[in-house]
Homo-oligomer: A and B are copies of this chain.
Amino acid sequence: MSSPNYTSRRSRIQRQLKSLQVDAFLISGLSNVRYLTGFTGDSSWLLLTSNSVLLISDTRYETQLADECDGLPVVIRDASRNLIDAAADAVIDSGASRLGFEADQTSVSIFRTLEQRLSGRELTALNGVVERFREIKDKWELEQIRKAIHFAERGYYVVRSMLRRNQTEKEIRYLLEEAMRSFGASGPGFEPIIGVGPTAALPHAHAGDRPVRENSLLLMDWGAATETGYRSDLTRVLFTDKPTRQMYDVYRTVLEAQRLAIEAIRPGAKCSEVDAIARGYIQDAGYGKYFGHGLGHGFGLDIHESLRMSPLSTQVFEPGMVITVEPGIYLPGKFGVRIEDDILVTAEGNEVLTTVPRDFESARLGFLE
C-alpha cells in the first residue's frame, strides 16, 4: 500500500452523517483534517456533506494543496477574510440546515462566532467521530507506525553504543534526534525525555545538564516521527553503574506489571481492567502512590490519541488498535523507572511491535568510559 485511500476514509464519515442527525460536518482538528485529506498544513478546515467535500484554506497553502490533495475541492481565502467567515460561507453555500462540529477541537470563541454567522441553523456538538475511526489503524498506517518504531529503535542503539559518563541529558537527547533522522525519521515524535537519577523521577522532565555519571540510572522516553506524520513512543531505563537493591526491586515490579498488562490485551478486554491489572500489581508491591498516571494511550498521527488506559477509561479493545503500555514508579528525589512498549491489538490477542529488550540484564551496561 503506497498511500492511504482518503476518499474511502471520508466516505465512512459521510455515511454516518444521517445517523448523527446533521447535514454537514465541519472538521477543524488538525490531525483529523490530515487523516481525511493527506494535507500537512494547518489553519484549514474540512466541510463534509453526504455527497460533497470542501477544504477551506488560505493562499499560503494554495500550491501545497494542489500537490498533496490533487483534485480535492478547495476554497482559498486571502488575508482580507478570516477562516471562520470563509467556513460559515461554505456552510451556507452547502445548503445545510443542521451543522455538526468537532466539540473537542473547537474553542468556545470560534463556536460562538460560528453560531452568530449561521443563525437559524442548528449546530450540533459531535465528539470523537473522526478520532474513533483513527483508533483502528489500517494496513498503511501500521506500516508507518512500524517505520516510526524502527527509526526510534535504531536511534536508541546508537545512543546506547555511544554512551559516556560525561554525557549530559541534553547531549543524549540531541544525539538521539540526530541518529533517528539519519535513519529516515522526519524528527522526534515528541520532545524526548532523558533523565538521570532524580530527573528520571519526573515523568515529564525536560532533558537538562545532569551528566550520566551522577547516578547509576538513566531513563529515556522517546520516539520518532515518519515523513507521513506517524509516531512511535518507547521508554527504557539503563543502569550505567551498579544499580541499588531498591532500583532492582522497582525495575522488576514495573517490568512484571507491564508483562501482566500486555498479557491481558485482546479484543473485548476493557481498557480500565488492563489498567487495573498493572496498577493493582504495583499497589500490592507497595508502590501504589508512586504510580499516578494512566497506563497507556493510543498514538498515530498524534502522540496522544483518544484511546486511553486509566481507571477512568470506558473503551474496549478492538483489533487494529495500537496503544502504549507504560507503567512507572517514581521515587521523588531519588529515581524513576518506566518501561514503555507499543502494542497492536490483533484478532487473537496482541503483538508487541517494539523489539528493544527490556529484561533487567539487558538494562545493565558494562563498564562505561
- In whole Å, how far is A164's beta carbon from the nearest beta carbon of chain B? 18
Query: In the bound complex, what is the Cα–Cα distance between A106 and B110 (angstroms)?
Result: 10
- In whole Å, how far is A245's beta carbon from the nearest beta carbon of chain B? 23
Query: In the complex, are the beta carbons of A60 and B293 less than 8 A apart?
Result: yes
Query: In the complex, are the beta carbons of B106 and A125 less than 8 A apart?
Result: no
| Residues 329-353 of A contacting B (Cβ, < 8 Å) | 330, 332-333
Q: What is the interface of chain A mostly: helix, strand, loop, or mixed?
A: loop
Query: In the bound complex, what is the Cα–Cα distance between A310 and B42 (angstroms)?
Result: 18
Q: Is A127 an interface residue (CB 8 A)?
A: yes
Q: Is A63 an interface residue (CB 8 A)?
A: yes
Copies in the complex: 2
| Residues 187-223 of A contacting B (Cβ, < 8 Å) | 201-206
Partner of A112, one of B103, B112, B181, B201: B103
Query: In the bound complex, what is the Cα–Cα distance between A332 and B67 (angstroms)?
Result: 12
- In whole Å, how far is A188's beta carbon from the nearest beta carbon of chain B? 10
Chain A residues bordering chain B, tally (CB within 8 A) = 49
Q: Is A178 an interface residue (CB 8 A)?
A: yes
CB-CB nearest in chain B for A311: B80
Q: Is A281 an interface residue (CB 8 A)?
A: no
Query: In the complex, are the beta carbons of A109 and B80 less than 8 A apart?
Result: no
- In whole Å, how far is A171's beta carbon from the nearest beta carbon of chain B? 10
Q: Is A73 an interface residue (CB 8 A)?
A: no
Can you list 30 A-B pairs with a CB-CB distance of less than 8 A? A41-B204, A42-B204, A58-B293, A59-B293, A60-B202, A60-B292, A60-B293, A61-B203, A61-B204, A62-B292, A63-B201, A63-B333, A64-B202, A78-B292, A79-B275, A79-B279, A79-B294, A79-B310, A79-B311, A79-B312, A80-B311, A101-B108, A104-B107, A104-B109, A106-B108, A108-B108, A108-B125, A109-B125, A112-B125, A174-B178
Given contacts A63-B201, A107-B107, A107-B108, 8 further A-B contacts (CB under 8 A): A40-B206, A42-B204, A59-B330, A60-B292, A63-B333, A105-B107, A108-B125, A109-B127
